[in-house]
A and B are shown apart, each in its own frame.
Chain A
């Protein structure tokens, strides 16, 4: 691959039809950090404020309680009514989800700053939430738009706060109802009540996945302490948090369920400070050397290969530590890493970036929202639906197999059929400047139609890897 092809494909999301090729690949990438606009394209017209989020939450909450109440009426057709309600509810929520998937995809397809869009997707996956938890199906989009997008060019500390304490995450990892064993609510009610108590899920994943990493040197005791500090963090708009104090971005703090007292994590103690206690811990975790190592490793893996080059990991780690977690400094260190410019392809394109790359290159096409959502699911990467809080795996083995390859071929043909094109040969040169193999060139030349040529180009080795 040439440096221009690397900048376009490995750092960016692929050539966008009609664009000039960047003259200075590194300068083009650096320029995107400053030019990045979290509210680009369709996002500019949407309302992603906290009020919107809270109403999405309370809609689901009210819906659930209405459905429960029908069951209590004892009416003969109560069961049937509930089934009908559920069907209607699912349809409504699915409409929101599908529209959000389409917005995410189109913003990436139309972006002037594709390197930064790639980073949006990277961080969204680092702080993964999933529609596997049905309750958050209508929140996963607004989570990425409102908590991830505006925070990727600041300090990691702010991204960590925004993502880990967002309503979607608080629901996804069962934090919203976690109750301190010695909290006022538990003491008042005297004995243990059903459905109340401590849940350590979010505490564990913050340490294992969001900050220190699995070998980052924390213990089960740290998990419990963080879980206790996090008690009280819940969501605005649900009945059980009606008396909680509103916090940023639709979350809330309910002191009655907060575990009182000093907490000790990684040898440091944190005095009782209500909502501030968890924030102070998160801020320190953000600056922890294990966090720097963990994030540097994942970023190096994303840009320089499944086995991250140690020298690059060390460089990113140092950039992170020296700047106190300043993300643009780390991004510049990625651009300046020779390992990320290795001429042979170092990564397999995952389904989402592959579809985005194809749509960027193909230009004019008629693709409906539901069709986009479905094709991503058929390709094995249903948007915002990874099967675990670790997010999608970023290694070739998880994405390349005989069946996965066959699906790409089917999808390529389906997308090509929806596209109107003039000359695919010219397009191929622009997509992989100076890097198109003679085999791919010959296959395209021999195709009987532009549609066939485009489908072949999309499943060419050049396009499947980056």
Chain B
């Protein structure tokens, strides 16, 4: 396991070089494709991620923060990318990233917990379903063996359900002795639930190799870890990552500068480490809802409605902002305070998934988010 990691480290740089410019288009089996879903927990401000600097309403409402965007990379049209998203900007410039803007889930209240529950369960009401949209999506996959994994100590709701999935997070605890590990198996011989979890833990540990000393908080390590869990032939096809820390009620400018830089570092490290497989990879980044357009009294923003999503990877039909832009004039806001949703997070996610794996967009939507009579966004994947 150690030697595999060493080889990888040496190869990643070369692989990244060969990637620039031409997209690798060699025919690959459907099962060679990879998907990573990142949920930004706490309601990330889409108006900061991809700022509509060309909208006079933005200049008015966010004047106090306009310095941040003075030298920000333009996304074409009226949008500018947050300057902390350097690598994302590079991906965008080479056509490997797109922004979906003014999107929201079908949730229209302002509770984090209900909103996350609704997004992850894919139900029509919060707490209505106990399984998650990503777990249900596994049932649609073309390959029978479709390993799926959450980088977290326990499974997030989006991944829970009937289809087999597992979770993994690096640990700094001393390794358990082989002796104890062997005996624990016997201890669970009459407890099917624990027995199954234990077998799964042992299997995942083997695959992830020795990653003691690494930590989820190290954004670069997280990107490397995700790549390592996905980049070999038995690696995970679907990985979910949770990133908390987006609830910016006060001092938002500084907070987002840090959290976005972390996100950027994770995505950049992932790109570099996964090498040629980037061409077959899609990373979707979404959040539970957006934030108010106006800055509040504590230099932050409060819970809002529509936000933005990101789609990255060699397979993405990128270099553009996908949006039916509603505008930011007072009369154009949702309830007079939030960015009006004109697109759907669910359609965005199902569009990424169905496009990437070649699934039927209607059936994909019905499975992941049943009972809505909507369809997946098309054309997100090249």
B side interface size, CB within 8 A: 57
**Please, which residues of chain A bring their CB within 8 A of the CB of B112?**
388, 390
- State whether B297 touches A197 (Cβ < 8 A): yes
- State whether B194 touches A196 (Cβ < 8 A): no
- State whether B245 touches A409 (Cβ < 8 A): no
CB closest residue in chain A, given B205: A406
Among B168, B174, B179, B184, which residue has its beta carbon within 8 angstroms of that of A403? B168
Further contacts, 4 of them, CB under 8 A, given A403-B167, A403-B171: A400-B154, A402-B197, A443-B186, A446-B183
- Rounded to whole angstroms, the CA-CA distance of A208 and B173 in the bound complex is 37
Instruction: Report A411-466 residues with CB < 8 Å from chain B CB.
Output: 411, 413-414, 437, 439-440, 443, 446-448, 452, 455-456, 459-461, 464
Tell me, yes or no, whether A177 is within 8 Å of chain B by CB: yes
Among B111, B186, B244, B298, which residue has its beta carbon within 8 angstroms of that of A214? B111
- State whether B188 touches A461 (Cβ < 8 A): yes
- State whether B154 touches A178 (Cβ < 8 A): no
Among A199, A403, A439, which residue has its beta carbon within 8 angstroms of that of B300? A199
Q: What are 28 A-B interface contacts by the 8 Å CB criterion? A: A132-B244, A174-B298, A195-B298, A195-B299, A196-B297, A197-B298, A198-B296, A200-B296, A204-B110, A204-B303, A214-B111, A214-B113, A214-B126, A390-B113, A398-B154, A402-B167, A403-B167, A406-B171, A406-B176, A406-B202, A406-B205, A410-B173, A410-B174, A410-B175, A411-B173, A413-B176, A414-B173, A439-B187
Tell me, yes or no, whether A367 is within 8 Å of chain B by CB: no
Most chain B CB atoms below 10 A, which of A195, A374, A402: A402
**Please, which residues of chain A bring their CB within 8 A of the CB of B42?**
388
- State whether B187 touches A195 (Cβ < 8 A): no
- State whether A403 touches B64 (Cβ < 8 A): no
- State whether A199 touches B250 (Cβ < 8 A): yes
Given contacts A401-B167, A443-B183, whether A375 and B173 have CB atoms under 8 Å apart is yes
Given contacts A378-B171, A410-B175, whether A456 and B297 have CB atoms under 8 Å apart is no
Give B246 Cβ to nearest chain A Cβ, in Å.
11
- Rounded to whole angstroms, the CA-CA distance of A220 and B302 in the bound complex is 12
Q: Mostly helix, strand, loop or mixed at chain B's interface? A: loop
- Rounded to whole angstroms, the CA-CA distance of A214 and B188 in the bound complex is 39
Tell me, yes or no, whether A74 is within 8 Å of chain B by CB: no
Among A378, A447, A459, which residue has its beta carbon within 8 angstroms of that of B172? A378
- Rounded to whole angstroms, the CA-CA distance of A379 and B173 in the bound complex is 9
**Please, which residues of chain B bring their CB within 8 A of the CB of A375?**
173
Give B24 Cβ to nearest chain A Cβ, in Å.
33
- State whether A452 touches B173 (Cβ < 8 A): no
- State whether A220 touches B154 (Cβ < 8 A): no
Instruction: Report B24-69 residues with CB < 8 Å from chain A CB.
Output: 41-42, 64
- State whether A406 touches B201 (Cβ < 8 A): yes
**Please, which residues of chain A bring their CB within 8 A of the CB of B296?**
197-200
- State whether A200 touches B302 (Cβ < 8 A): yes
A side interface size, CB within 8 A: 56
Give B69 Cβ to nearest chain A Cβ, in Å.
18
- Rounded to whole angstroms, the CA-CA distance of A148 and B197 in the bound complex is 36
Give B178 Cβ to nearest chain A Cβ, in Å.
11
Tell me, yes or no, whether B333 is within 8 Å of chain A by CB: no
- Rounded to whole angstroms, the CA-CA distance of A447 and B177 in the bound complex is 13
Instruction: Please encode chain B, from 233 to 264, with 1 for each CB lying within 8 Å of some chain A CB and 0 for all others.
Output: 00000000000110101100000000000000
- State whether A452 touches B154 (Cβ < 8 A): no
**Please, which residues of chain B bring their CB within 8 A of the CB of A194?**
64, 299
**Please, which residues of chain A bring their CB within 8 A of the CB of B160?**
397
- State whether B197 touches A400 (Cβ < 8 A): yes
**Please, which residues of chain A bring their CB within 8 A of the CB of B111?**
208, 214
- Rounded to whole angstroms, the CA-CA distance of A197 and B198 in the bound complex is 52
Instruction: Please encode chain A, from 354 to 397, with 1 for each CB lying within 8 Å of some chain B CB and 0 for all others.
Output: 00000000000000000000110011100000011010000001
**Please, which residues of chain A bring their CB within 8 A of the CB of B154?**
380, 397-401, 403-404
Tell me, yes or no, whether B4 is within 8 Å of chain A by CB: no
Instruction: Please encode chain A, from 170 to 209, with 1 for each CB lying within 8 Å of some chain B CB and 0 for all others.
Output: 0001100111000000000000001111111100100010
CB closest residue in chain A, given B208: A403
- State whether A409 touches B176 (Cβ < 8 A): yes
Give A69 Cβ to nearest chain B Cβ, in Å.
19
Give B236 Cβ to nearest chain A Cβ, in Å.
13
Most chain A CB atoms below 10 A, which of B174, B183, B204: B183
Tell me, yes or no, whether A30 is within 8 Å of chain B by CB: no
- Rounded to whole angstroms, the CA-CA distance of A462 and B205 in the bound complex is 25
- Rounded to whole angstroms, the CA-CA distance of A387 and B183 in the bound complex is 35
CB closest residue in chain A, given B116: A388
- State whether A198 touches B173 (Cβ < 8 A): no
- State whether A397 touches B64 (Cβ < 8 A): no
Instruction: Please encode chain B, from 107 to 147, with 1 for each CB lying within 8 Å of some chain A CB and 0 for all others.
Output: 00011111000000000001000000000000000000000
Tell me, yes or no, whether B155 is within 8 Å of chain A by CB: yes
- State whether B201 touches A403 (Cβ < 8 A): yes
Tell me, yes or no, whether A407 is within 8 Å of chain B by CB: yes
- Rounded to whole angstroms, the CA-CA distance of A314 and B117 in the bound complex is 25
- Rounded to whole angstroms, the CA-CA distance of A129 and B247 in the bound complex is 14
- Rounded to whole angstroms, the CA-CA distance of A349 and B283 in the bound complex is 35
